[in-house]
Copies of this chain bind each other. A is one copy, B any other.
Amino acid sequence: MRQIAKDVGVQAGALYNYIPDKQTLLLDLMRDHMEQLLADVPKAVEQGTPMERLEAFVRFHIAYNYDHPDAVFIAYMELRNLEPANFELIETLRSRYERHLEAILQDGVREGAMTVGEPRVVTFTLIAMLNGVNTWFREGGRLSLAEVQDLNWSMVRRAVGVE
């Protein structure tokens, strides 16, 4: 709290005019992030065939994570510091986000465009894979963000496509 106060240019006590306590601050940060993600994902993935929507999801997820590295980092690394009730709240939002991907996979299977045995588990697997980008990608390296999106989409497409 003292570090936050220093960074925003006030004394530590002044922070409590804005937040009731530290736990609520953490919850607010994580909830704002999840709600923004949930607000943005529908329009990114609502049009086209299941395969087109899947590609849109892959590119959206990578781009969103790249644009919000701190929020994404906190959303994963600070989960263990949420009180049980707050943890449940965030997990509910995360689950709602994952359902967008799961629905795409289910549609793809139904239309015969994808081969996915377990849509729920494949959803977890793909999101874990896409989240990996933030741990190593840095702008100015050998690959551009667009190339990383291309590479991930190439792998996802093949991993769930009909053979």
Contact = CB atoms under 8 A, between A and B. Distances in A.
A122 interface: yes
Q: Helix, strand, loop or mixed for chain A's interface?
A: helix
A155 B151 contact: no
B125 A128 contact: no
Interface string A117-156: 1100110111111011101100000010000100110111
Nearest to A80: B77
Contact of A124 (B77, B118, B122, B132): B132
A151 B132 contact: no
Contacts of A148: 121
A118 B131 CA distance: 18
Nearest to A73: B80
6 contacts: A118-B143, A124-B132, A127-B132, A128-B129, A129-B129, A155-B159
